[in-house]
Structure 1
Amino acid sequence: FSRFQGENLVKNLERVEVLKQMAGDKGYTPTQLAIAWVNAQDDNIMPLVSMSRRSRLPENIQAMQIEFSADEMNTLNTAFAQGAILGGTYLQR
């Protein structure tokens, strides 16, 4: 996947750092913050979450209660705007 190679990987990891920093500041995991951000996009959008372990369920449910300030939403919407993540999601053949 080209998004995990070379300069794309470096730039994309910079985006992840935004998420990790904000999550730490708010006292949540990056995963919780990502779920909450998707949930905050619109009343007609719901995050679809899969889990490798049932023990993650309470953590993921807690994410639905996270609220963002306007500045926090702007930061996340800018960092993860359409096209901000570089590289494709499919293998090149």
Structure 2
Amino acid sequence: MSEDVRLVAWVRGRVQGVGFRWFTRARALEIGGLSGFALNLDDGRVQVVAEGTREACQKLLDWLQGGDTPGRVEGVTEIWDTPRGGYDGFAVR
């Protein structure tokens, strides 16, 4: 049985104004079983919070770190935690 986890990732680079949050939402929905959000931060980064199985969260993280994202990702910092719940699907904020 796979336990649920919480992934919080901060993506830096040219990731605002390029549809990054919408593509992140689409990828999360494509992976399935994920809830959370993608949010533009004032410092130019995008914060991604995803809750679901470790496998699904890892797939999303791999995508964030890969070269198939819109814009240009220069780096991703992530932390893993226990899920907090309270999300209705995967949102763009």
Q: Confirm or deny a common fold (TM above 0.5).
A: no
Greater helix share, structure number: 1
